[in-house]
Amino acid sequence: MGIAKKLGQLLATVLLVTLFSAFLLTLLPGDLADIIVPFGTDAQREQVREDLQLDAPFPVQYARWLGDFVRGDLGDFYNGPTSRRPVAETVKEALPKSLELMLWAQVIALVIAIPLGVMTAYKNGSKLDRFSGIAGFAMLAFPAFALGFVLQYFFGVRLGWLPTGGFVPASVSVSGHVKSMILPAITLAVAQIAIYMRLLRSDMIQTLQQDFILMAKAKGLSSRTVLFRHALRPSSLTLLTVAGLNIGTLIGGALVIEVVYNIPGMGLQMAKAIGGRQPIAFQSMVAIIAIFYVLVNFAVDLLYTVLDPRIRNASN
């Protein structure tokens, strides 16, 4: 019952989001066909107008777009009046790259932030705590794209350890692939590290004040067991919630970082769509990202009920 209701909400949100993004297109000044194929002949423009049913009223256009979208047809990317490529193909290539980038960033962020958050909460007020507090503050203030360029410069240009940009598929070279992902993933992870660390620390400090921690300690368990088994798990719920909320920031950051590092993911493709004035392609990609975002939040919701037995039982 709970899940069915959530699925309903999910569907409604996705519909509203795509409706909204389709509505945005109607705000475009002038003739869409002019924008899409600016140098085409009148006949070619007429063709585009017909393909996209541009003369039909908005609800019809939206219904057509939605129908195509559901069937996996995301429209075409017009490279010129005659050459075009299905957006679905582009997305199929680009989306996994963006997802991989985000996944690595998230993994790096958690691997660094969790132990640091736990240790700084445990050693509240220590040198480590104060230092990482200041470092976190600075990391949060450094714009991701600027950090991308700075890292690119130092590790790519000056030290020459890692490529300054570009994407190497794992099928071509695994080590090349890993190398090409390191800097972008770190760049994207930095702000997340700061957020998660801060959050986990303040949450853990509260958890460590709880009676059940004292009781766990009184069982003679080692500090590590007490911290990671007894204290981290209740605190991880907060972490998970924020990680879910953060996905939006992460997506925005990933798009920008793809442009910075020239990784042909969704961000770079969207930049191309903007540069090539392809509103339909752009809209489809916005919709894909929004749907992904909604789905992730839905998954976080589900995971939340798995992790917290109190919620699990309440929903049963």
Partner 1 sequence: MSAPHVVDGPAPTGLPGAGPLLEVRDVRTQFSSPRGKVRAVDGVSFTLDRGKTLGIVGESGSGKSVLSRSIMGLLPGNAERTGQILFEGRDVSDLDPEARRALWGPEMAMVFQDPMTALNPVLKVGRQITESLRLHLDMDKAEARETAVELLRAVRIPEPESRINAYPHEMSGGMRQRVVIAVALACGPKLLFADEPTTALDVTVQAQVLDLLAEQQRQRYMAMILVTHDLGVVAGRADDIAVMYAGRVVEKAPTRTLFSGMRMPYTEALLSAIPKLADPSHTRLNAIGGRPPDLVNPPAGCAFAPRCPYAKERCHQEQPVLTETAPGSGHFFACHYPVGSPENAEVADQLEAKRLMSIAPPPPPLLQGEGPEGGEV
Partner 2 sequence: MDLGPSMAVTVEAIEDQAPAGAGRKKLGAGAWLAIGWIVGLGVLAVIAPWIGVPDPTETFPEYARSGPSAAHWLGNDGLGRDLAARIIYGTRASYIVGFGAVAFGLLIGGFLGLVVGFFRGRVDAIITPLMTVLLAIPQFVLALALVTVLATPQRAGETINPSVRLGVVVLGLGLVSIPILGRITRATTMAWSEREFVLAARAMGAKQFRIMFREVLPNVVPAMLSIALLGVGIAIVAEGGLALFGAGVQLPTPSWGNIIATDKDQLARSPHIILITSMVIFLTVMALNYLGDVVVERFDVRESVL
Where along the sequence are the contacts to partner 2 (CB under 8 A)? 13, 16-17, 20-21, 24-25, 27-30, 34-35, 38-39, 122, 124, 137-138, 140-147, 149-150, 152-153, 157, 164, 202, 208-211, 213-214, 217, 223, 226-227, 247-249, 251-253, 255-256, 259-260, 270-271, 274-275, 277, 279, 282-283, 286, 289-290, 293-294, 297
* Coil, helix or strand at residue 77: strand
Q: How far apart are CA 248 and CA 168, in angstroms?
A: 26
Q: Which residues of 227-255 are buried (b: 16+ CB within 10 A; e: fewer)?
A: beebbbebbbbbbbebbbebbeebbebbb
222 binds partner 1 (CB under 8 A): yes
Task: Decide whether 175 or 313 has the Cβ nearer to partner 1.
Answer: 313
127 binds partner 1 (CB under 8 A): no
- Measured from the Cβ of residue 61, the count of other Cβ atoms closer than 10 Å reads 18
The conformation of residue 50, written as its DSSP 8-state character, comes to: H
Alpha helices in 152-225 (DSSP H): 174-208, 211-218, 223-225
Token duo for residue 151: 């890292």
- Of partner 1, partner 2, none, which one does residue 290 interact with (CB within 5 to 8 Å by kind)? partner 2
The conformation of residue 157, written as its DSSP 8-state character, comes to: I
State CA 123 to chain mean position distance. 32
Whether 181 and 101 have beta carbons less than 8 Å apart is answered as yes
Give the nearest distance from C-beta 306 to partner 1 in angstroms: 11
291 binds partner 1 (CB under 8 A): no
Q: Given candidates 53, 79, 173, 210, which one binds partner 1 under the rule CB under 8 A?
A: 210
308 binds partner 1 (CB under 8 A): yes
Which listed range, 44-52, 101-109, 223-231, 289-297, lies at the site for partner 1 (CB under 8 A)?
A: 223-231
- Measured from the Cβ of residue 99, the count of other Cβ atoms closer than 10 Å reads 14
Token duo for residue 230: 């007894």
Give the nearest distance from C-beta 32 to partner 1 in angstroms: 54
Answer positive or negative: Cα dihedral of 104, 106, 111, 112.
Answer: positive
Which listed range, 137-145, 160-168, 275-283, 307-315, lies at the site for partner 1 (CB under 8 A)?
A: 307-315
- Of partner 1, partner 2, none, which one does residue 149 interact with (CB within 5 to 8 Å by kind)? partner 2
Task: Decide whether 122 or 293 has the Cβ nearer to partner 1.
Answer: 122
Whether 268 and 259 have beta carbons less than 8 Å apart is answered as yes
Q: How far apart are CA 118 and CA 138, in angstroms?
A: 20
- Of partner 2, partner 1, none, which one does residue 1 interact with (CB within 5 to 8 Å by kind)? none
220 binds partner 1 (CB under 8 A): yes
Which listed range, 43-51, 53-61, 191-199, 215-223, lies at the site for partner 1 (CB under 8 A)?
A: 215-223
297 binds partner 1 (CB under 8 A): no
Task: Decide whether 71 or 310 has the Cβ nearer to partner 1.
Answer: 310
Token duo for residue 257: 């970082």
Q: How far apart are CA 25 and CA 80, in angstroms?
A: 20
Contact positions vs partner 1 (CB under 8 A): 210-212, 214-223, 225, 229-230, 233-234, 307-310, 313
